[in-house]
């Protein structure tokens, strides 16, 4: 069995059962700021469980790339991965009242629940239309219930009806057989899992509850199905391989590493992490010290710290691109970005790495405190996993303590920047999140600030048009006398590029197109392609500013406003300086109208 064939069999099987194939979501969730990454196929459909009418199709099927940090420490053993693909089928909007209706209309796009979900899972795994696995190899598990949540006897009854013998139906605890929610709140419920030769391959979740932010389980008005089957693990099982690393999805990567003579565990870590690195960079992430960017840095540095690997990294990455290019559309320019990120990160890391290694080698300890581990990270840039590698198995590292220190520094950083913001906007008074402009700007200053604000959006669009779509905003500051815009780019702009950017903005000003906003649900806004600088910072209902009219849209961004109403009000735009702001980030200062 190949991965391509397996993906196809799965999709075909559920399409035959009236499921609509849905595109995977990005690895960075669009509308759930409480989670860092997409860790499951259902995440992009979270709202459909409570609001089924929001989805045209009540049955969906996907292949979703996922990224989980929860297992990062375990990568290297036979089964754990950070990056993987999940095959899943989903249903929304099921109620007891529409149960018989859905049975009658099984040919149509109606919702389903346990009976169909379990029967189809069984058919997919055992029939020749699906995987054709001998039923004798299969066991299942069902939620055994606990205080306030009943035993899932309906699933037991369905498995028995199918013919699974009692001794092959195991009862599991809440930890093993209850799933969700992702993030702070959301749909969740009991699960039933399928095992082949003792290996768990498929998790069927029955979303019967909604867990609120206080942890209360509320019976859901609509019930739903969410299933997830890890492609890599299934491929290993089907091909009689003991580990995912022996399948075609890792084989070439591991082969490429062979000449380095590394321990098996290290080869596996590299093969897993290289995929994560590419898929995260494809999300426009850059390595950094906070949140998602920190995770990307962890992956990069863990791999780079292994002797001899840096020289091989690009070749390994190219193998990954080849492996996935028919399945996923990578962003244009991602290979160039990757090359320069690897180089930059390595230059930065190698500055402190040797000193850090010497420091760690002298530690001579069997236990490293979280405080010390964090100090090593902030001094030498060596992330926690790489520290563990350097220290070896004989030393226990207090990861939880590290995490606490890290979060504390994060909080400190946040309050510093909050204080900075308050100082800047409080004293000076300018454009705030809600779109109010504080009264201590004179009307003339206010007008100038408006012009500069709209010009900032035009500049952003111009940079993407001239330099490429992967230019990403990193910061901006609007004042009456000038605007400042930070963005990711690898090198200084040429004189010609600066001229083209200016000309592009001035052409849009001349066109005198309108500037409008609409209030939108954040998820819808992001899905429609509106740009957002740190999407998690915007409220669920937010404003989207559009420059241009129907058929000639120049820019669409999530933004609190306010703006001019027509671009001609800006007058004229000129770049006054362009220079490096930090590694990989450029800063443009510009003025508008007659400020120059």
Q: Which residues bind ligand SER (CB under 6 A)?
A: 40-42, 88, 179, 203, 205, 226-228
Q: How far is the CB of 295 from ligand SER (least distance, A)?
A: 19
Q: How far is the CB of 59 from ligand SER (least distance, A)?
A: 15
Q: How far is the CB of 88 from ligand SER (least distance, A)?
A: 5
Q: How far is the CB of 193 from ligand SER (least distance, A)?
A: 9
DSSP 247-270: SHHHHHHHHHHGGG---HHHHHHH
Three-state secondary structure call for residue 156: helix
Q: How far is the CB of 18 from ligand SER (least distance, A)?
A: 20
Q: How far is the CB of 65 from ligand SER (least distance, A)?
A: 13
Contact of 211 with 186, CB cutoff 8 Å: yes
Contact of 310 with 346, CB cutoff 8 Å: yes
CA distance 23 to 60: 10
Q: How far is the CB of 32 from ligand SER (least distance, A)?
A: 14
Place of tokens 């997830």: 228
Q: Cβ closer to ligand SER: 228 or 584?
A: 228
CA distance 168 to 141: 8
Place of tokens 């979740």: 205
Q: How far is the CB of 186 from ligand SER (least distance, A)?
A: 11
Q: Cβ closer to ligand SER: 193 or 286?
A: 193
Contact of 405 with 413, CB cutoff 8 Å: no
Q: How far is the CB of 133 from ligand SER (least distance, A)?
A: 20
Q: Cβ closer to ligand SER: 180 or 562?
A: 180
Q: How far is the CB of 42 from ligand SER (least distance, A)?
A: 5
Q: Cβ closer to ligand SER: 3 or 64?
A: 64
Q: How far is the CB of 25 from ligand SER (least distance, A)?
A: 13
Three-state secondary structure call for residue 180: coil
Q: Cβ closer to ligand SER: 71 or 447?
A: 71
Contact of 547 with 457, CB cutoff 8 Å: yes
CA distance 437 to 206: 48
CA distance 289 to 506: 37
Classify the phi-psi angles of 240: left when phi > 0, otherwise alpha if psi is within -120 to 50, otherwise beta. Answer: left
Give the 3-state DSSP-derived string for 282-344, with helices as H, strands as E and coil as C.
Answer: CCCCCCCCCHHHHHHHHHHHHHHCCCCCHHHHHHHHHHHHHHHCCCCCCCCCHHHHHHHHHHH
CA distance 519 to 559: 10
Q: Cβ closer to ligand SER: 42 or 334?
A: 42
Helix (H) and strand (E) counts for the chain? Answer: 19, 18
Classify the phi-psi angles of 432: left when phi > 0, otherwise alpha if psi is within -120 to 50, otherwise beta. Answer: beta
Contact of 276 with 282, CB cutoff 8 Å: no
> Cα 483 to the chain's mean position, in Å?
31
Question: What length is written for the chain?
Answer: 596
Q: How far is the CB of 188 from ligand SER (least distance, A)?
A: 9
Q: Cβ closer to ligand SER: 42 or 257?
A: 42
Q: Cβ closer to ligand SER: 192 or 456?
A: 192
Q: Cβ closer to ligand SER: 203 or 452?
A: 203
Q: Cβ closer to ligand SER: 13 or 179?
A: 179
Classify the phi-psi angles of 496: left when phi > 0, otherwise alpha if psi is within -120 to 50, otherwise beta. Answer: alpha
Q: Cβ closer to ligand SER: 192 or 506?
A: 192
Residue 397: enclosing H or E segment and its boundaries? Answer: strand 396-397
Q: Cβ closer to ligand SER: 125 or 305?
A: 125
Place of tokens 């060596």: 382
Q: Cβ closer to ligand SER: 202 or 279?
A: 202
In DSSP terms, 186 is beta-bridged to 211
Both tokens assigned to 360: 């760690």
Q: Cβ closer to ligand SER: 42 or 306?
A: 42
Contact of 41 with 68, CB cutoff 8 Å: no
CA dihedral 245, 247, 252, 254 (to 10 degrees): 10
> Cα 455 to the chain's mean position, in Å?
30
Q: How far is the CB of 3 from ligand SER (least distance, A)?
A: 19
Which residue's beta carbon is nearest to the bound ligand SER? Answer: 228
Q: How far is the CB of 270 from ligand SER (least distance, A)?
A: 25
For helices 231-238 and 3-16, what crossing angle results, to 10°? 110
> Cα 466 to the chain's mean position, in Å?
27
């Amino acid at each position: 069995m190949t991965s391509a064939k397996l993906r196809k069999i799965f999709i075909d099987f559920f399409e035959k059962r009236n499921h609509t194939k849905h595109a995977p979501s990005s690895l960075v969730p669009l509308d759930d700021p409480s989670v860092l990454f997409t860790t499951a196929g259902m995440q992009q459909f979270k709202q459909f469980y409570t609001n089924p009418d929001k989805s045209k199709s009540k049955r969906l099927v996907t292949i979703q790339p996922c990224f989980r940090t929860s297992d990062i420490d375990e990568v290297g053993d036979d089964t754990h991965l950070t990056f993987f693909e999940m095959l899943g089928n989903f249903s929304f909007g099921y109620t007891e009242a529409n149960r018989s209706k859905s049975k009658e209309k099984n040919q149509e796009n109606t919702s389903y629940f346990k009976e169909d979900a379990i029967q189809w899972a069984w058919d997919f795994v055992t029939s020749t239309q699906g995987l054709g696995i001998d039923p004798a190899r299969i066991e299942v598990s069902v939620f055994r219930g606990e205080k306030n949540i009943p035993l899932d006897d309906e699933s037991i009854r369905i498995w028995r009806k199918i013919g699974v013998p009692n001794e092959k139906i195991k009862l599991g605890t809440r930890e093993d057989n209850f799933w969700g929610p992702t993030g702070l709140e959301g749909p969740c419920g009991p699960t039933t899992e399928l095992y082949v030769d003792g290996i768990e391959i498929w998790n069927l979740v029955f979303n019967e509850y909604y867990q609120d932010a206080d942890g209360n389980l509320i019976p859901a008005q609509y019930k739903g199905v969410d299933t997830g089957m890890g492609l890599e693990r299934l491929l290993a099982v089907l091909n009689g391989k003991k580990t995912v690393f022996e399948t075609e999805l890792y084989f070439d990567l591991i082969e490429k590493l062979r000449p380095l003579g590394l321990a098996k565990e290290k080869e596996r870590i590299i093969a897993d992490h290289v995929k994560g690195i590419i898929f995260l960079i494809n999300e426009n992430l850059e390595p950094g010290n906070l949140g998602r960017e920190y995770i990307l840095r962890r992956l990069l540095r863990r791999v780079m710290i292994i002797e001899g690997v840096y020289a091989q990294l690009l070749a390994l990455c190219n193998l990954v691109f080849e492996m996935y290019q028919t399945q996923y559309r990578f962003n244009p320019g991602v290979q160039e970005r990757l090359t320069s990120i690897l180089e930059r990160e390595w230059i930065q890391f190698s500055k402190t790495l040797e000193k850090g290694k010497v420091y760690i080698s002298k530690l001579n300890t069997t236990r490293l405190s979280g405080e010390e581990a964090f100090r090593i990270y902030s001094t030498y840039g060596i992330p926690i996993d790489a520290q563990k590698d350097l220290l070896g198995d004989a030393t226990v590292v207090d990861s939880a303590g590290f995490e606490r220190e890290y979060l504390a520094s994060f909080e400190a950083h946040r309050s510093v920047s909050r204080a900075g913001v308050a100082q800047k906007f409080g004293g000076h008074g300018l454009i705030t999140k809600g779109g109010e402009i504080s009264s201590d700007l004179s009307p003339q200053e206010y007008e100038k600030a408006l012009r500069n604000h709209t010009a900032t959006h035009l500049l952003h669009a111009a940079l993407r048009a001239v330099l490429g779509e992967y230019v990403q905003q990193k910061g901006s500051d609007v004042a009456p006398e000038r605007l400042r815009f930070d963005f990711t780019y690898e090198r200084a702009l040429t004189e010609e590029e600066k001229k083209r950017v200016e000309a592009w903005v001035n052409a849009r000003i001349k066109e005198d197109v309108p500037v409008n906003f609409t209030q939108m649900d954040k998820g819808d806004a992001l899905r429609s392609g509106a740009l957002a600088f740190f999407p998690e910072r915007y409220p669920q209902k937010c404003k989207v500013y559009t420059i241009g009219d129907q058929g000639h849209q120049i820019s669409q961004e999530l933004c609190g406003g306010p703006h001019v109403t027509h671009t001609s009000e800006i007058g004229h735009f000129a770049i006054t300086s362009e220079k490096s702001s930090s590694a990989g980030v450029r800063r443009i200062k510009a003025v508008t109208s007659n400020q120059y």
